Structure 1
Amino acid sequence: MRTTFDADADAAYISLTPETAPGRSVRNVEVESAGGSVVLDLDSEGVLLGVEVLGATKILDQGFLAAAERIDE
């Protein structure tokens, strides 16, 4: 599992698979949350590949974000 965080976009991505080939995610399910939204990335068989969190600083624990790999630096 790999977690990345982009503070400029206030977005985090939690990858649940070692490597996701381009085009593998074919379905996205968006769930609105107070202060942001959560997008589930699924493959053609319904396997959850990853979770994108928009408005991450409002939705996720700050300690979790602090441990994430920063991609905005």
Structure 2
Amino acid sequence: MTDLRVTYDGQANAAYVYFVDPQTRPRVAHMYPCDPIEVDGMINLDFDKDGRLVGIEVLAADTKLPQYLIDAADRLDE
């Protein structure tokens, strides 16, 4: 299984799941916002210029993601 990098900012309660090596500093060419009323949250899908998914931003992350993922994430607020 491939390891994914996840970052979490507790002050913003936002997480980011990378689908590319974050060290490459992928350029986001298009962001597709998803605001699903049914789950009371916002999720943003980031795509590169070739249409590949590079990452997902999850707002209200503590209610959308499993706690083990947040606990294992690289903290941006410390």
| % identical aligned pairs | 37
How many Å separate the matches in 1 of 2:70 and 2:45? Answer: 18
TM normalised by structure 2 equals 0.83
2:14 equivalent to 1:11: yes
Higher strand share: 1
Match of 1:57 among 53, 59, 62: 62
Partner Cα distance (2:65, 2:11) in 1: 16
Residue 33 of structure 2: which of 30, 35, 56 is its match? Answer: 30
Measured in 2, the distance between the counterparts of 1:57 and 1:36 equals: 11
What amino acid sits opposite 1:44 in the alignment?
A: K
CA RMSD of superposed structures (Å): 1.1
- Three-state SS of the structure 1 residue aligned to 2:20 is coil
TM superposition score normalised by structure 1: 0.88
Deviation at 1:20, TM superposition (A): 2.4
Aligned residue for 1:36, secondary structure, equals: coil
Confirm whether residue 2 of structure 1 aligns to residue 5 of structure 2: yes
The aligned length equals 71
AA at the equivalent of 1:56: A
Q: Could you list the runs of 5+ residues in structure 1 that have no partner in the other structure?
A: none
